């Protein structure tokens, strides 16, 4: 009986899906996404990554009437971390879920239109849960990356596969979780897997066919390609990597990017160098832990900013580079901001990568005591780099040090948001430190390539997570909200003077963007680590967010993981609007 009912349900969904009109998504719509209100066709609500909706119907005065419209379950036993940001086009929501799944949902009713499940092999090696962060829309297709490092293009109306391309060898540790980005008909992707000694890269493919246009490895010494032919070497071989360490140098580009049509540059962050044991690779180790500005037509690197040279703490540099116009001293500077794992909030000139300011957004940054604005380099505290295991006794371990922030970062993957009205950034931060020590390690294909051990510990008894409003002009914290558990979800700002984010305790919360006052909350039944969005349909403003606890904290969080072990897993997307609208 159950199988008959399921067949009827699937058949009904297919019939319903066939009736939904999906107009082709154009390059112009993608470029205008930040200003549009009736759809969301990019990850980040616009290529700038500001995660701002201009809609104002929901405000501190009206939010008391915000109620659920529907909730959709991702189903089955696959209830793990849900970090996706939904997309919305022509009455259909496209949302990815754990284990590389994609759903198309009728936004009026919450009915499933179609579902796609990637067939994952047994040997996948995701470092930080079986999550997926989102999709891309272009033409008649919807795209997303899978845990076995494939890029899949689906027919947006039916969910049928149009093409599938390999991003890397999953047996070597490559995987993919970030939402792709469309720039002028090309689909831009990165890769995950830095903990396995892969080589990070940024690639562009023809969005229609999936054929490679260019590939740019981000570790110096590797060759780039354009239209199937080798072009230029990344950096200068052995300039900042000793021996052959560059061959397995890490630098995973695992968190996606942003794009600026004014400068025609893609901005991608790069991850930790491999292995974590920094004594094996003296030098800056370019271009790891950096923000790269890349020409979208050729794949050439135009400038870089390295936030943690010779990273010995797994601080990465992949955090999103959010584009904005900095109004300061009577001037408007084309700028970008990044809140890094290393605990510093950076503001750069996005035309040339010049460091304008570096301000701590957490209470302790014991690995460095600031940045030199002339050189753009950190003032590293040598005593707080974990010791060299070659100089120790028979146990093979280097001396342990306590460092803050922990390697999970002052801010990890979860995207911050910017409000053009308040001219503030809203950063989901965490206060923790770690005991960390180095160990001997050699590279082996498909094996973890760390050379370090660690234990994460909370810094304070009363809170770990903190949503902080940062002023990019001054580097000061304007207000903060403290949360007992770590914050691990994205942030949304709106024209209604609101800031939305989720908590592991299950809440989607809203705050007054100017004051930080909590004005609304709703418990979704599992930890909220997705990125909320907002759009308008039939005169009503909607809010949506994925719910489902997971990600890196329960896997890597040490003492913090023990503190949050009783949070229930989940797998759903919730949609809200004002009652009566």
Pairing relationship of beta strands 52-53 and 491-494 according to DSSP bridges: parallel
Rounded CA gap, 387 and 551, in Å?
Answer: 29
| Cis ω before 277 (30° cut-off from 0) | no
Q: What is the DSSP string of 323-385?
A: EEEEEETTEEEEEEEEE-TTSEEEEEETTT--EEEEEE-SS--TTEEEEETTTTEEEE-GGGS
- As beta bridge partners, residue 68 has 576
- As beta bridge partners, residue 216 has 202
> Closest by alpha carbon to 196, among 103, 130, 274, 85?
274
Rounded CA gap, 500 and 522, in Å?
Answer: 11
Polymer length of the chain: 581
Biggest distance spanned by C-alpha atoms of the chain: 72
Rounded CA gap, 49 and 44, in Å?
Answer: 4
Active site residue 314: yes
Contact call for residues 428 and 489 (beta carbons, < 8 A): yes
Contact call for residues 485 and 503 (beta carbons, < 8 A): yes
Element (H, E) at 176: none
Half-sphere exposure of 355 (CA within 13 A, CB side): 22
Residue 484 CA to its chain's centroid (Å)? 22
In Å, how far are 240, 300, 308, 331, 427 from 328, measured between CA atoms?
A: 36, 31, 27, 5, 21
Half-sphere exposure of 361 (CA within 13 A, CB side): 37
Contact call for residues 548 and 101 (beta carbons, < 8 A): no
In Å, how far are 141, 371, 416, 506, 535 from 68, measured between CA atoms?
A: 29, 46, 24, 14, 15
Indicate which residue of 260, 314, 316, 340 is catalytic.
314
Residue 475 CA to its chain's centroid (Å)? 23
Half-sphere exposure of 363 (CA within 13 A, CB side): 14
- As beta bridge partners, residue 99 has none
Backbone angles phi, psi at 386, to 5 degrees: -60, 145
Rounded CA gap, 361 and 342, in Å?
Answer: 10
Rounded CA gap, 430 and 432, in Å?
Answer: 6
Rounded CA gap, 521 and 508, in Å?
Answer: 6
Element (H, E) at 554: helix 552-556
Element (H, E) at 31: helix 27-31
Rounded CA gap, 454 and 313, in Å?
Answer: 10
What residues are labeled active site? 314
């Amino acid at each position: 009986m159950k199988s008959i009912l399921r067949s009827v349900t699937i058949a009904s969904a297919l019939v319903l899906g066939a009736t939904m009109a999906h107009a082709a998504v154009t390059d112009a719509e993608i470029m205008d996404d930040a200003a549009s209100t009736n759809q969301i066709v990019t990850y980040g609500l616009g290529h700038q990554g500001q995660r701002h909706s201009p809609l104002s119907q929901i405000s501190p005065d009206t939010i008391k009437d915000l109620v659920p419209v529907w909730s959709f379950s991702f189903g089955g036993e696959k209830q793990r971390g849900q970090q996706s940001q939904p997309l919305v086009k022509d009455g259909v929501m496209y949302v990815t879920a754990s284990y590389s799944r994609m759903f198309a949902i009728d936004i009026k009713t919450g009915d499933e239109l179609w579902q796609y499940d990637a067939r994952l092999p047994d040997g996948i090696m995701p470092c930080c849960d079986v999550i997926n962060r989102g999709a891309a829309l272009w033409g008649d297709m919807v795209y997303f990356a899978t845990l076995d490092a494939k890029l899949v293009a689906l027919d947006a109306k039916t969910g049928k596969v149009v093409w599938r391309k390999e991003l890397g060898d999953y047996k070597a540790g490559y995987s993919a979780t970030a939402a792709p980005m469309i720039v002028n008909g090309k689909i831009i992707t990165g890769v995950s897997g830095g903990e396995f000694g892969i080589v990070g890269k940024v690639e562009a493919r023809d969005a229609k066919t999936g054929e490679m246009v260019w590939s740019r490895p981000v570790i110096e010494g590797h060759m780039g390609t354009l239209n199937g032919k080798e072009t230029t070497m990344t950096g200068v071989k052995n300039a900042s990597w000793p021996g052959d360490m560059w061959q397995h140098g890490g630098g995973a580009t695992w968190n996606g990017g942003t794009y600026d049509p004014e400068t025609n540059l893609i901005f991608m962050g790069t991850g930790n160098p491999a292995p974590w044991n920094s004594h094996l690779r003296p030098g800056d180790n370019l271009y790891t832990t950096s923000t790269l500005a890349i020409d979208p037509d050729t794949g050439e690197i135009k400038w870089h900013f390295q936030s943690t040279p010779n990273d010995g703490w797994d601080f990465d540099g992949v955090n999103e580079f959010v584009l904005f116009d900095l109004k300061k001293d009577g001037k408007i500077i084309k700028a970008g901001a990044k809140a890094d794992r290393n605990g510093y909030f950076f503001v750069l000139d996005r035309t040339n990568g010049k460091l304008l300011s570096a301000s701590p957004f957490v209470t302790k940054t014991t690995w460095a005591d600031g940045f030199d604005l002339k050189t753009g380099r950190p003032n590293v505290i040598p005593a707080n780099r974990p010791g060299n295991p070659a100089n120790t006794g028979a146990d093979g371990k280097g001396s342990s040090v306590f460092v803050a922030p922990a390697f999970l970062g002052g801010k990890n993957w979860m995207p911050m948001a910017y409000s053009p009205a308040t001219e503030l950034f809203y950063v989901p931060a965490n206060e923790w430190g770690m005991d960390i020590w180095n160990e001997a390690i050699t590279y082996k294909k498909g094996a973890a390539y760390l050379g370090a051990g660690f234990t994460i510990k909370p810094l304070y008894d009363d809170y770990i997570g903190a949503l902080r409003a940062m002023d990019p002009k001054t580097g000061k914290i304007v207000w903060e909200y403290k949360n007992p558990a770590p914050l691990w979800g994205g942030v949304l700002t709106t024209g209604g003077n609101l800031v939305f984010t989720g908590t592991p305790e299950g809440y989607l919360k809203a705050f007054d963007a100017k004051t930080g006052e909590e004005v609304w909350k709703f418990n979704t039944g599992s930890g909220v680590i997705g990125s909320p969005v907002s759009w308008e349909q039939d005169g009503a403003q909607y809010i949506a967010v994925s719910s489902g606890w997971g990600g890196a904290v329960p896997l890597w969080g040490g003492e913090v993981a023990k503190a949050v072990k009783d949070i229930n897993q989940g797998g759903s997307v919730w949609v809200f609007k004002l009652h009566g609208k």
